[in-house]
Structure 1
Amino acid sequence: MISLRQIRYFVEIVDAGSYTRAAERLYIAQSALSRQMKELEGDMQACLLQRDSRHIELTQAGQLFYERCKRILEDLDDAIVQAHQVGKGEQGRIRILHSSSVTLSEMFGNVFNALLTQFPGVSLDISRAPSEHQAVDIDEGRADFGLARLPILRKFPNVLAKKLFDEKLVVAVSSNHRLATRNSVDIGELRDEQFVSVPHKDRGGLSYLVAELCMRHGFFPKVARATSRKSSQLNLIEANLGIAIIPESMREVSSSRMHFLPLQEPDAHSEVALIYRRDAPPMTASFIAAFLKLMPDAEKF
């Protein structure tokens, strides 16, 4: 039976151009190398090499066999490298979710670029999903980890969260809005304003925070007649169809025709967390560990 060792020896002889050099590279005796080649040709019932005291030449059968063997060894080496990378968590596709209010800012771009350099065998599949939906998808294996706005109301035993950072909340208004000349605003002053988002007291993430902040001041946000999700709602604000309370980072994707007012309440902030499965596979676990090292302020809770 033909062995992988014989295939490697045969390819090495051809590449080296002689039995002597091949034996030196393989650290075996030339006589042992010659014996292996005789056994290989005997098993194949074909002459692969024509040789004299100084040179070797491939027969037609040998040329065909060499080309196939070379490809087999290259594929095998690639498979070994990939298996090693998978075992260390360095190979494959990672599915990432992020809330529409967690913009992929320059900070996240720098982190992901550094990780893609560190994990050359990893590719990313990034899409948006509300915080609550992220937890469900991660728990059920449809995603690997998420960048979510806390709180996540529904708890999953296998889903963990690590806080990444706090972010201030601001009021976004059109430059034509009556509040556009103000430097800051109290939430209570928004009682009669119309919100282009749809706050929901039973849904987590930013929507829950906004509803909770407003209810602390004795009112539930009035919903504007034109509403939209976090990123596209900026267009509605710009058109002066309503206002919204949003994370400060969303200023990066807004136009110059909008105005942002800091909220006077000290607790008007939002927490961004990384969420993932407790039993994440090695590749994902390694990637997450590297991600958190690049986010040194992350803390578990």
Structure 2
Amino acid sequence: MELRHLRYFVAVAEERHFGRAAERLHMAQPPLSQQIRQLEAELGLTLLTRTTRRVDLTPAGAAYLERAREILGAVDAAAHEAASIASGRRGRLLIGCVGSATYSLLPALARTLRAELPEVEFGFRGEMLSPDQAAALTEGTLDLGLLRPLPDSAGLSITHVRQESLLVAMPKDHRFAARRRVRIADLDGEGLVIHAGSGRSAMNAMIQRLFHEAGISTHIAHEVAETSTLVTFVAAGLGVAIVPEPTAALAVPGVVYVPLIGTPGVELVAATRAGDESPLLTRALAILAGLSAD
């Protein structure tokens, strides 16, 4: 038995006429009649009763028609699902974001992805440090990461998203709060609120390098895991923090953001597993590139 036998039978059963069924199937009537007889012979059942004017279903034929429709419907659905996945319109995608991207980029990215790819199941993890994202990508628990460049990106494919300038987040009553800009040297002796070190944060390593190159030492007042906590600590007067410009989207009362000059800023990149060329991931990266350009 082949699927075409089921399609032939359904056409005859629905049309109740071999001639009309043959026209619907774009074939001659004699071969159609022969195929139906072969189907009945294989099943050992009479599915149709034939008269000169019409064709009727036997009780066995009526039951077989119901199942045949289900089978053909499942086959068609499987083909549609496979085509949707192959074209990147269906599937599952897990996306991670560092703190500043969580507040500035994730909302627009999530809305656009869900609008343009409604059949895709998306999962998002915000406030995720760059090394943690790299590990999750390698392990396969994350498909796309928005993170800071890492010294070791083996096994990952990296795409530039944007360059972000740096700001100093400081309490509103800080002596520099009214300034239009500050330099690294101005922060000598300041207590810093900073993301966790020991290789856990790309921002921590970058800030340590900036202070070292300026010839001043860092005085770390607090280490935190999340950008929202970092800004909250600044609002509480527990120190100042160097943050990417998009962090200013966190408009926490009591915090002032002042541009930090004399630095190249920090890069935001998109990371995926090397060799992962899934159509869905390709579509998501194209949407991300469009948002970054805007």
Structure 1 length-normalised TM: 0.85
- 2:269 matched residue in structure 1: 273
Alignment of 1:73-222 (within 5 A): 73-105=72-104, 107-128=105-126, 129-150=128-149, 152-156=150-154, 158-198=155-195, 200=197, 202=199, 205-222=202-219
Cα distance in 2 between the residues matched to 1:110 and 1:16:
51
Structure 1: gaps of 5 or more residues = none
Q: CA deviation at 1:289?
A: 4.9
Q: Which moved more, 1:168-177 or 1:202-211?
A: 202-211
Closer, same or farther: CA 216–37 of 1 in aligned 2, 3 Å: same
Per mean C-alpha deviation after superposition, the further-off stretch among 210-219 and 285-294 is 285-294
- What are the superposed Cα offsets for residues 141-164 of structure 1, whole Å, 9 maximum, x if unpaired? 3322211112x01230x3121111
Report the aligned-residue RMSD.
Answer: 2.7
Would the aligned equivalents of 1:164 and 1:295 in 2 still touch at CA under 8 Å? no
Please state how far the C-alpha of 1:194 moved relative to its aligned partner. 1.7
Distance 1:199 1:222 in 2: 14
In structure 2, the residue corresponding to 1:50 is in which secondary structure? strand
Task: State the TM-score, normalizing by the size of structure 2.
Answer: 0.87
Separation (CA, whole Å) in 1 of partners of 2:178 and 2:215: 25
Length, aligned pairs only: 293
What are structure 2's unaligned runs of at least 5 residues? none
Question: Which one-letter code corresponds to 1:193 in the other structure?
Answer: E
Secondary structure of the residue that 1:79 maps to in structure 2?
A: helix
Q: Distance in 2 between matches of 1:168 and 1:204?
A: 18
Q: Which has the higher helix share?
A: 2
Match of 2:279 among 262, 280, 283: 283
Q: Look up the equivalent residue of 1:234 and give its one-letter code.
A: V
- Provide closer, same or farther for how the CA distance between residues 30 and 244 of structure 1 changes in structure 2, counting only shifts above 3 A: same
Does the aligned pair in 1 maintain the 2:93–2:281 contact within 8 Å?
no
